[in-house]
A and B are shown apart, each in its own frame.
Chain A
């Protein structure tokens, strides 16, 4: 396998300001704090974590929708983080995003045809109007919408159909890499499965590489080859899903896995649940040492002082990394 996206020591900090006219900087939110991982060509990498852990910010910083505070993002050999905004434009067609909310992410005053055509207008200027319309129709039928709907407006569609439109827009340029940011969390359960299946089909057909961001572990498990778990701006564990589920090495991963309810009363009765105490601390003022030590059931003095590094568990080649002082035990 070949690495398509390589993220190295990525940091994304946001300033917190006070004052209406004269803004004073009063703090920094470390939304993403020194994160490194790779996405291999053709794989789906799941990125999970709770709200505010920095998973969406990571996705956006990779796509250069935010310019990272520090670190490198290398896409197919090109270091995106070094390019000026203008120089980035020709690269953007190769990496696209699918947004969470199919209601807010489609302009209500544009027809479906023009929404899906917009990336083509920007990136394929040579394309004539007729040819462009043909491309739009082709991509609509690819995502399971009738090409006849090209003149309709977003409000005429259901949530699931709108998410198909969002997917069509992201795929219009045949990108290599797609960041799917919570693509099904706004949808009803019965419709969720339609969209997940569609994404699996499209991945096969178009040999896509996907960073699949979601808070629902069951969904991430279904979609991903490997899974990365984030907590307060850091990756705490990354592994092929089977290994992660069978032997989680970070106590946060373990708690997360055991918190997910399983739709089977017999299984639920026999499960031991690790219920974490307290809340996620504020990323404005994260705990010292290991960020998780305030809620960790096995934390010791050392965890308060020293931040654990993300290291490979069980020898090289396992692909199982965890950031815990006790991960090897």
Chain B
């Protein structure tokens, strides 16, 4: 495992809101975290939890309108990315901080050869000569494990399989040797044997190049093996953070505990899964209380009055935003497996 170094990115109290027909949607509401050089930060949550919006906010890719970053700071080497000019932001985006998206089918331009899309990055950011850009692109394709890169570089995206396209995306993201790679569900659209290849690749890049990685996923298994630190998000907020060991072996927020109980594991045999009842909340209709309380087995009266403060559990690195500790507290609501 690579040496984890200084903090290079610090997100403080980020708030990104969207104006919708039904009012303000607080997609991200007070998210903070630090990312260290060579570290892997996992962000886990279900659809609508705000994990993707957090990352799009870091790169200032939120469409405005309807979205808007309404508060907080994103400090990249102590410089607040939210206050730099658009021109300066372009130098950061894709160059020092790169992103790979979930769907490699729609993130590549079908009209341009893969080579054109790769060399463009180098010509744009480094004013590389066409020959030089081509050579570097071929090297990078070889590095991410694409066979015959000299020939493949002149092909179009549709001539690549899903896993190969995701590699092209990774190659593109790494061309500028970014300090931070944001991988937003990088393996959701690919098969499990290809997922193993991609995760292997991300792991080795971090080891060899010292790239810091933000790995966003809904798959708890993926972060368990990859991440040093994990954030669990629910309804736009971080509900629990800790090391992988903290999160998986001492879950301290009822939502984290619920998630872990609701997934089947390949290596153990559980007779019955314990689902989280209900469905994720409508973000336009949140009140002052904890948004998880309608689904929570530990909810108390005070949970509807105010959002619970962050509580440190055991190690200083482990925090949960809940009044109670599910490891010790009694359940307050009877379990209803199936709701009407």
A residues near B (Cβ < 8 Å) are 50-51, 144-146, 158, 160-161, 188-194, 196-198, 200, 215-219, 221-222, 245, 255-269, 271, 273, 275-276, 278-280
Contacts and interface: CB of A to CB of B under 8 A. Distances in A.
A190 B264 contact: no
A133 to B, nearest CB: 18
26 contacts: A50-B194, A144-B339, A145-B340, A160-B279, A161-B279, A189-B263, A190-B258, A193-B263, A193-B275, A194-B337, A216-B192, A221-B264, A222-B264, A255-B193, A256-B192, A260-B221, A261-B219, A262-B224, A262-B265, A263-B265, A264-B267, A265-B245, A265-B248, A268-B221, A275-B193, A278-B147
B47 interface: yes
A196 B270 CA distance: 13
A148 B244 CA distance: 44
Nearest to B277: A194
B338 A144 contact: yes
Interface string B254-271: 000011111111110010
Contacts of A278: 147
B338 A198 contact: yes
B192 A215 contact: yes
A144 B337 CA distance: 9
A188 to B, nearest CB: 4
A255 B46 CA distance: 28
A14 to B, nearest CB: 19
Contacts of B276: 190-191, 193
Nearest to A268: B225
Contacts of A275: 193, 196-197, 200
Nearest to A200: B272
B318 to A, nearest CB: 14
Nearest to A146: B340
B191 A215 contact: yes
Nearest to B162: A51
B169 to A, nearest CB: 15
A280 B161 CA distance: 9
B35 interface: no
B194 A194 contact: no
B249 interface: yes
Contacts of A271: 225
Interface string B183-227: 000000001111111011000000000000000001111101100
A218 B192 contact: no
A262 B196 CA distance: 12
A314 to B, nearest CB: 22
B273 interface: yes
Given A262-B265, A280-B191, A193 B274 contact: yes
B231 to A, nearest CB: 15
B275 A256 contact: no
Most chain B beta-carbon neighbours within 10 Å: one of A161, A191, A193: A193
B22 to A, nearest CB: 15
A192 B47 CA distance: 13
Contact of B193 (A145, A259, A266): A259
B337 A262 contact: no
Nearest to A160: B279
B163 interface: yes
B266 A245 contact: yes
Nearest to A252: B193
A197 B277 CA distance: 12
B174 to A, nearest CB: 19
Interface string B25-38: 00000000000000
B248 A263 contact: yes
Most chain B beta-carbon neighbours within 10 Å: one of A218, A263, A271, A278: A263
A50 B192 contact: yes
A215 B187 CA distance: 14
A275 B195 CA distance: 9
A219 B224 CA distance: 18
A264 B46 contact: no
Given A193-B274, A197-B272, A221-B264, A276 B224 contact: no
B259 A190 contact: yes
B41 interface: no
Nearest to B192: A259
Contacts of A279: 161, 163-164, 194
Contacts of A146: 340
Nearest to A149: B340
Nearest to B220: A263
A218 B265 contact: yes
A14 B204 CA distance: 41
A221 B275 contact: no
Contacts of B340: 144-146
B167 to A, nearest CB: 10
B276 to A, nearest CB: 4
A50 B193 contact: yes
B280 interface: yes
A10 B266 CA distance: 30
Contacts of B162: 51
Contacts of A260: 192, 221, 266
Given A50-B193, A144-B338, A256-B192, A262 B267 contact: yes
Contacts of A276: 193, 196-197
